[in-house]
A and B are shown apart, each in its own frame.
Chain A
């Protein structure tokens, strides 16, 4: 939802970055305000996932230029865990399995590290259980999953739902969903999308990174950006996604070339 005068949550200016000496981002600009849902689309290798990992603070990526401001502070000065505690959440394309650590315990550790950071008292296992039972309905998750090891033996769809459950518990200000729709059948997609919609508020913002327009039938974005060659080359409304679906990405490349000429 675009609201006039709402707070800027994320402001990315002229961002350049590399991994293993290969330049991946080439002057990326993006502004995200509270209440907004942004979709970033683009062909493989355009830098979408890299951008999401850089926002969350992955150590393998080096920012070589530009700036990222999050709620007015310099995001690049923060470690990954500090970013998470200040309200950045990345839903992973490939969530990690952690055998022997139950979903509940993992969520409680994560939740409490955020509370501690905010100067709040940590929740004990009982109080946390009340909280999490309430969140389960967001992604229609069977309570039995709470006692299972984090993502171990989960199907692809279950892993993605588990990511959204984590998002529900951690209540981020800025959620970046990296191909959360990839590999989901239509029922799982509906559940995941429905969960995300429930979690969208006027105070937070969501950045969806996706390959498929299909997701945007269920989560309606305020802006659609197209990434190409490590930067955003086109921005439009939700209708841009439909056009991309119909025409592919080549016409954007051509238009861009014409402009350059």
Chain B
């Protein structure tokens, strides 16, 4: 086994809070709303997860997986349940987030599905996009039960909390042999509310054999409130299916966002995920890809752009079990002010996964003296006939680059801005939706 680390091993880190992390987690569970009657068929799934909560706790920096990301500030916050009905919100507040390229759209406001803001234009009849109530009516209970919370890693603390607490799910179900032309936009909006709300957004996409679909999972806000988004997205690609998935996190700069993306790829399936982190005071993205068949292709693009005292942590895992898989991962962080970015990229290549070709690159740009990046590629390889390459760079903008722009009459501040934009653009251009690219780039320029 080869383990590669670019950071020195250190001992445990003090926590500095007296709040009992087990109690706090149980308190979060107690904030969950009941399922509506028509969804009682999911009660057992929720209850099973809830039964594990007392065994779990909010992780501390003493745990390897959370070494650099201190949740003490979350534990200090008194969170509240959200009301069952969406707060009054004008459509005009939400419209700026709509994507003209994506006429199919599910909108959740503060965790509550809003059919009036959702849209289903140009969706092929055989393809299902809707919330749980609609999925129940469409007879999808069986595939949902088969796929919900059944991937490895579902027992992780925050995933368990979501599974025990969700009240609705954005469901996408594509049958076999169906290329879905229209991108599907799943929009989670957090709005101004009283107190700090906790929501548990959840998406489930099941993409049949030989089918393809483009998904945009989008977390946005109209407020600058403190709130906690605890999201889980599960994506299943059957044989030879293709998914292009964009995940953008544009939460409030005061918010907490802990999100899970779990992807299972059957043989010949191709998954491209582009995750953009711009918001939240503290953001954690757990990105897990599991291979169940040969010759899968996985492309992971990541960008965190952090300012002020933001913290963003991406922990990714690509887990191979079969031969001939390929993966190409590029994760970039731009860190300004006193912000802190964390990247941990695991790739497991066991004996059975011969002829795997895995590439991983972590590129980090520090824009201030006080900015911090912790990056750790973690390749565990027991197969002996594989290609695995990884690299990590942490740099400031090169004098030569800034000088090139200055030598064209552009002042230093604008030169730094343009070059930072260029660094981010290389990731954002991989999003297949031009209007989304544009609004994200506006945040950076």
Residues of chain A at the chain B interface (Cβ within 8 Å): 53, 56-60, 79-81, 83-85, 89-90, 92, 95-101, 106, 109-110, 113-114, 117, 149, 166, 170
**A residues in contact with B403, CB < 8 Å:** 53, 56-59, 80
Cβ contact within 8 Å between B404 and A96: yes
Q: Which of B391-417 contact A (CB under 8 A)?
A: 399-401, 403-412, 414
A169 to B421, CA, bound (A): 24
Contact of A90 with B407 in the complex, beta carbons under 8 Å: yes
Residue contact A57 to B407, C-beta cutoff 8 Å: yes
B361 at the interface (CB under 8 A from A): no
Question: Which of B410, B414, B425 touches A100 (beta carbons < 8 Å)?
Answer: B425
B411 interface neighbour in A58, A81, A114, A166, Cβ under 8 Å: A81
Counting chain B CB atoms within 10 Å of each CB, the highest count among A89, A99, A117 belongs to: A99
Interface centre among A96, A109, A114, A170 (most CB of B within 10 A): A96
9 A-B residue pairs with Cβ-Cβ distance under 8 Å, sorted by A, are A57-B406, A84-B409, A92-B407, A96-B405, A99-B426, A101-B425, A110-B408, A114-B409, A149-B425
The 5 A-B residue pairs with the shortest CB-CB distance, nearest first, are: A100-B425, A80-B406, A110-B408, A84-B409, A113-B409
Interface residues of chain B, those whose CB is within 8 Å of chain A, are 399-401, 403-412, 414, 418-419, 421-426, 428-429, 441
Structural contact, B418 and A101, CB atoms closer than 8 A: yes
Given contacts A99-B425, A100-B441, A101-B418, contact A170 B408 (CB under 8 A): yes
CB-based contact B425/A110 at 8 Å: no
Q: Are B418 and A79 in contact (CB under 8 A)?
A: no
A53 to B419, CA, bound (A): 20
Asked whether A96 and B400 contact (CB < 8 A) given A101-B421, A113-B411, the answer is: yes
Which residues on the B side are within 8 Å of A97 (C-beta)? Answer: 422
The distance in angstroms between the C-alpha atoms of A58 and B406, with both chains bound, is 9
Contacts of B418 in A (CB 8 A): 98, 101, 106, 109
Additional pairs, 8, CB under 8 Å, beyond known A53-B403, A58-B399: A85-B409, A99-B422, A109-B410, A109-B414, A110-B410, A113-B411, A149-B425, A170-B408
**A-side contacts of B423, CB under 8 Å:** 99
Cβ-defined contact, B399 with A59, below 8 A: yes
Query: Which residues does chain B contribute within 8 Å of A98, judged by CB atoms?
Result: 405, 418-419, 422
User: Separation in Å of the B399 CB from the closest CB of chain A?
Assistant: 6
- Tell me, rounded to whole Å, the shortest Cβ–Cβ distance linking B104 to chain A: 28
- Chain B residues, Cβ within 8 Å of A110: 408-410
State in angstroms the CA–CA spacing of A180 and B419 once bound together.
24
B406 A99 Cβ-Cβ under 8 A: no
Residue on B nearest A91 in the bound complex, by CB: B407
Bound-complex Cα distance A84 to B100 (A): 42
Residues of B within 8 A of A114 (CB): 409
Closest to A116 in B: B409
A residues in contact with B408, CB < 8 Å? 84, 106, 109-110, 113, 166, 170
> Do residues B407 and A56 form an inter-chain contact, with CB atoms below 8 A?
yes
Contact: B419 with A80, CB < 8 Å? no
Q: How far does the Cβ of B70 sit from chain A's closest Cβ, in whole Å?
A: 34
Cβ contacts under 8 Å, A83 to chain B:
407
Q: State whether A100 touches B404 (Cβ < 8 A).
A: no
Instruction: Give Cα A92 to B406, complex, Å.
Output: 12
Please indicate the chain B residues that have their CB under 8 angstroms from the CB of A99 in the complex: 422-423, 425-426, 429
Cα distance, A261 to B414, chains bound together (Å):
53
A81 lies within 8 A of B404 (CB):
no
Residues of B within 8 A of A95 (CB): 404
Residue of A nearest to B419 (CB): A98
User: Which residues of chain A are near B419, meaning CB under 8 Å?
Assistant: 98
- Asked if residues B412 and A81 are in contact (CB atoms below 8 Å), the reply is yes
Select from chain A the residue with minimum beta-carbon distance to B425: A100
**A92 and B404 contact, CB distance less than 8 A:** yes
A56 to chain B, nearest CB (A): 5
Set B410, B421, B422, B426: member contacting A113, Cβ < 8 A? B410
| Nearest CB of chain B from residue A76's CB, rounded to whole Å | 15
Specify which chain B residues have a CB less than 8 angstroms from the CB of A85 in the assembled complex: 409
Q: Are A84 and B441 in contact (CB under 8 A)?
A: no
B406 and A81 contacting across the interface, CB-CB below 8 Å: yes
Complex: A150 Cα to B134 Cα, angstroms: 49
Minimal beta-carbon separation of B323 from chain A (angstroms): 34
Residues of A near B400 (CB, < 8 A) are 58, 96
**In whole angstroms, how far apart are the Cα atoms of A149 and B425 in the complex?**
11
Contact of B409 among A53, A59, A81, A149 (CB under 8 A): A81
Chain A residues within 8 Å of B412, by CB? 79, 81
Give the docked Cα–Cα distance between A191 and B428 (Å).
35
Residues of A within 8 A of B404 (CB): 92, 95-96
Smallest Cβ-Cβ distance to A56: which chain B residue: B407
Chain A: CB-nearest residue to B411: A81
Tell which of B401, B411, B425 touches A96, judged by Cβ atoms closer than 8 Å.
B401
Q: A109 vs B414: C-alpha distance in the bound complex, in angstroms?
A: 10
For A57, list chain B residues within 8 Å (CB): 403, 406-407
The residue on B at minimum CB distance from A107 is B408
Contacts of B422 in A (CB 8 A): 97-101, 149
Instruction: Tell me which of A58, A79, A81, A85 has the highest count of chain B C-beta atoms within 10 A of its own C-beta.
Output: A81
Q: Quick one: which of B400, B408, B409, B421 has the most chain A CB within 10 A? A: B409
- Contact (Cβ within 8 A) A100 B406: no
Residue of B nearest to A96 (CB): B404
The answer to whether B409 touches A170, judged by C-beta atoms less than 8 angstroms apart, is yes
B426 contacts A100, C-beta separation under 8 Å: yes
In the bound assembly, the distance between CA atoms of A99 and B441 in angstroms comes to: 12
Contact B399 A84 (CB under 8 A): no
Most B CB within 10 A of own CB, among A56, A58, A80, A101 = A80
Give Cα A101 to B404, complex, Å. 14
Let me know if A84 and B421 touch, CB within 8 A.
no
- Give Cα A110 to B412, complex, Å: 13
- How many whole Å from A19's CB to the nearest CB in chain B? 11
If A96-B400, A100-B421 touch, whether A84 touches B426 (CB-CB below 8 Å) is no
Which of B401, B407, B425 is in CB contact (< 8 Å) with A84?
A: B407
Q: Contacts A99-B426, A99-B429, A100-B421 given: A60-B399 contact, CB under 8 Å?
A: yes
Instruction: Tell me, in angstroms, the Cα distance from A99 to B429 when the chains sit together.
Output: 10
Residues from chain A with a CB closer than 8 A to the CB of B428 are 100
